[in-house]
Structure 1
Amino acid sequence: MNTPKQRNRDWSIEVTGSPRDALTDSSEDGWDWGSPLPAFPQTQQQQPPQPKSASVEAGDAEIQDHPGYFSGILDKATRSPFPDGVPHLSVAGYRRLYDENFGSLRGAHFIIHQHDHPIAGTHYDLRLQINETSSASWAIMYGLPGDPNSQRLMRNATETRVHCLWNHLIETASIHTGSLLIWDTGTYTVLERRSKHAPAEDPDSQQSDSSQESDASKLTEQEKLHRAFQDRKIRIRLHGTRLPHNYVLNLRLTTHEDAAGRAKAERKPTGRRRRRRPAIQQAKNFTPLAMTSSSDNNSDSSSSPQNNRDIGPSKRKKKTEEGEADEDAEGVLEPVEEAKADISAMEKELRELEDETVRRTNAYIGATNTINSVHQRKWYLSLDRQACGFDKKRRHGRVVWEKQDETTAEDDGTGRHRLRYPFYVKGSEVERSVVTGRQGADVLKDEGVVGFVPRKGWRAVLR
């Protein structure tokens, strides 16, 4: 008697016709097995969500193509139709302007950001390209001057951190940093600065003067800016979209402010322990927001990154041995819960090293401080009235500055509607972006920011 295994070996299958006939034979259900097999739906891999622009700006998220990423955001946010009478530079034109300067030793890009910060208030950040990938930055409380006869022609301009050049592309908002929009952008030219104490020109020395001018003409704008920066006297012409033609500024750093700024920068950051919560709040287990501030902040230093956290890695609190949150060296508004976040010891160490590197080099991660910028030095910014085309005249017993040529049109023929003298910077409730046409409130809305509380008391300089 055969076993089951033996019987299995005796099984056989008889196939009539060729194997191809078997494949092409139609089955009872009508399917033609000779036709191509159906394509089964493939499971699509879900793409990770695109990071928020505020996260990229803060250094919490990394991307590879900054121009492409921010150009896409600007393009979607551009108002259509664009607000009438507002200077306008298209997103494509802005991208082209940026690409022509980024990565170039001859690049001379500038940006003026309007920054409406909840603690620092509204201020304007002037950033000038200093190398292929970085820019030096000054925070100006009332914006750029536009009235040659203004009683507040001179403004304080505080040095902030050196930024990555891709920060020039940003328009973003968050509840902690407020809104940031592009007020103006373009290229700059550094002009030779002549001291008022210099002797009169000698006709016999024209040849030597011309040779000096020839040597200066061989320098790039970055090299000229570096030399002027070291001399603490910068005379610069801004070729923007909004500003009038032939707009020239003077930036000056006094010896006293230079010494004071360097001494402040050499101090080690000291944190103040925040006040204890009231007993009633402790009983209710209520966790308020912790607002840190620098020990040397004042009303006029609102434009410093210790208050405004312009661009760069997120600032995080540390804990003392008693469990209380110390003041962060950069001074920003953050929830106490972030200090209690469950992060690894390695991540904590990396964050501390990153913040220490930013403080030591005065440059955010990815930027290079090749100009020897010093954090929080106070410069003085003013309108160069003569270079802007104004003459000094006496009218009714007082000296006034009048424009030499009054034929400058409001529209330069490109539809940009440039500003005309005198002009005044009127703040976040009035000013619009030259790229997207948005106001600060529009940027907050587009970024989904809810509950932002601006600082009150900011007033434009209108005289």
Structure 2
Amino acid sequence: MTDSPRSLKRNISPPPPRRASKASRHRTTAEDVNNVSAAAVEAGEAHIRNHLEYFCNEHEKVRRPSAQQACHLSIADFRALYMRNQHSRGCHFVIHQHDHPVAGVHYDLRLQFSESSSLSFSIPYGLPGNPNSLRPNRMAIETRVHNLWNNLIESSSHATGSLLIWDTGEYEVRPRNLARKQPETDDEVASNQREEVEEDGMSNLSEPEKLALAFQERHIHLRLHGTRLPQNYTIAMRLPRHNYRRKQPKAPCRRRRHQNLTTVAEKVTSESDEADSGQLSTTEKATESAALKDAAAASEDEGRDALQREQIRVENAYPGATNSIGSVHQRQWFLSLDREASGFVKATKGTDRGRWVREDDHVGTRSGFETFAVMGREVETSVITGRTAMDVMEDGGVKNYMGRKMWRPITE
């Protein structure tokens, strides 16, 4: 007796599920992506496969005519910038303007250090742009390690406020003590020779490898090749000894929203005074101290469940990112403009004696750059879309948003 055909032996109840065609699967995914908000992607509430294409498409939809100006980056160049850094030697950076409902306006500097992750610092008043400012220094507070694709985001929501790209580009790690006085002793000569050997050894390292070494040494000199920032713009960052710790902070207690400014002022340490050489009033010191605390509080992750918050706290990294660089949450670094590396020279005579000035070389090219100040949410715009913080809110459908008041730019 011959066997029955295999088609007659197969169970027909219940019928096997039909495999969806590739076209239908792609169509469903595309429809889902079109309905996903940037804020949902940022918060981890929605997952997409191609973050670059998603955000490029989103930026294209909301791009303002003003974004055609020379100080802005085209979508094509924005895409190319990210693509050429999608590897372990990539050196992508972004500066986000973040108008947070609790922390208020601050600026997040994010530096790629691996194929997938970025080191993040919160800078309450933005980067310094005046070599002769009465308040030349800033605090830069370590926050969570982010996914590299977070460098692409512009978004808005009631929970997180608005986020726009203030500048983006590639960074370069510079050697320390680039412009030192001439050595006067044998010890200084030997020290300089050791530094030259170290610099030669670093020449074969990638920028992320240099960043990791400088980060561990607690002294970072960065040249930011951005779109908005002037040519050769260079900053110096250092972690004071009293802030050097390896352990992540404990889970925060419930924060008190209202504090007496005089009480807060009494807690401002002498190290905070060192970070700002200008003379500040008691109220100004209190406001600045509160701004530092609030900027750090912007990454407290209150929208996530308890288990995920604990994992983020222990690792100091958002899901998908890896904290292989050893970042510790809320450590406070000092940040200043590296005036010599940025092209300024200190005048030794004339009416500008003692001031940092620009200098013409033998072909008439001026060193340094025109001074600038970071003016905050009402003034600053995205270098990608040309939008203000209010534009980002309107495009995201966020209405009746009550932002944090009392922020003022450093212009003196």
Structure 2 distance, partners of 1:384, 1:397, is: 19
**Deviations, residues 210-250 of structure 1 (Å, cap 9, x unaligned):** 54333210111111000000010000100000111001000
**Structure 2 letter corresponding to 1:433:** S
Which stretch has the larger CA shift, 73-82 or 87-96? 73-82
Alpha carbon RMSD of aligned pairs, Å?
Answer: 3.1
- State the Cα distance separating 1:51 from its structure 2 match: 1.3
Counterpart of 1:368 in 2: which secondary structure?
coil
Distance 2:28 2:210 in 1: 51
Task: Find the counterpart in structure 1 of residue 374 from structure 2.
Answer: 425
Q: Partner letter of residue 315 of structure 1?
A: G
Please identify which structure carries the higher helix content.
Answer: 2
Partner of 1:64: 49
Mapped partners of 2:168, 2:356: distance in 1: 27
Is residue 123–residue 303 contact of structure 1 (8 Å, CA) maintained in 2?
yes
Amino acid of the structure 2 residue aligned with 1:441: M
Within the candidate set 289, 300, 323, 2:292 is matched to 300
Aligned partner (choices 228, 232, 238) of residue 224 of structure 2: 238
Q: 2: CA distance between counterparts of 1:205 and 1:391?
A: 25
Q: In 2, are the aligned partners of 1:120 and 1:308 still within 8 Å (CA)? A: no
Report what 1:214 is aligned to.
200
Contact 1:155–1:381 (8 Å) recurs in 2:
yes
Q: 1:198 to 1:380 in 2, by over 3 A?
A: farther
3-state SS of paired residue (1:173): strand
How far is the alpha carbon of 1:301 from its aligned partner?
1.8
Q: Are the counterparts in 2 of residues 58 and 314 from structure 1 also a CA contact under 8 Å?
A: no
Alpha-carbon distance in 2 for matches of 1:455, 1:206: 49
Instruction: Tell me, yes or no, if the aligned pair for 2:90 and 2:112 is still in contact at 8 Å.
Output: yes
CA distance in 1 between counterparts of 2:352 and 2:71 reads: 38
Tell me, in whole angstroms, the C-alpha distance in 2 between the residues paired with 1:45 and 1:158.
42
Aligned length: 349
State the AA in 1 paired with 2:311.
T
* 1:201 CA drift (Å): 8.4
Larger Rg: 1
- 1:15-54 aligned at under 5 Å gives the runs 47-48=31-32, 50-54=35-39
Question: Contact 1:117 / 1:308 at 8 angstroms: preserved in 2?
Answer: no
| 1:177 aligned residue (160, 164, 169) | 160
Q: Is residue 249 of structure 1 aligned with residue 198 of structure 2? A: no
Q: Which runs of 5+ in 2 are unaligned?
A: 1-23, 258-288
Aligned residue number for residue 360 of structure 2: 405
Partner residue of 1:106 out of 89, 92, 100: 89
Residue identity matched to 1:63: I
Equivalence for 2:12: none
The letter for the 1-side match of 2:223 is R
Question: Given the two structures, how large is their TM-score scaled by the length of structure 2?
Answer: 0.77
8 Å CA contact 2:67–2:384 kept in 1: the answer is: no
> Does structure 1 residue 381 correspond to structure 2 residue 335?
yes
Kindly provide the CA deviation profile for residues 268-310 of structure 1, in whole angstroms up to 9, marking residues without a partner as x: 4444799xxxxxxxxxxxxxxxxxxxxxx93322211x2356x
Q: CA 1:270 to 1:461, structure 2 compared with 1: closer, same or farther past 3 Å? A: closer
Distance in 2 between residues matched to 1:430 and 1:355, nearest whole Å: 34
Q: Are residue 133 (structure 1) and residue 121 (structure 2) matched?
A: no
8 Å CA contact 2:94–2:109 kept in 1: the answer is yes
TM-score (norm 1): 0.69
Paired residues of 2:67 and 2:383 also in contact (CA < 8 A)? no
Moved more, 182-191 or 210-219: 210-219
Please name the residue that 1:94 is paired with.
78
Letter of the 1:367 counterpart: A
Deviation at 1:267, TM superposition (A): 2.6
Change (3 A) 1:398 1:98: same
Unaligned runs of 5+ in 1: 1-41, 275-296, 317-350, 410-418
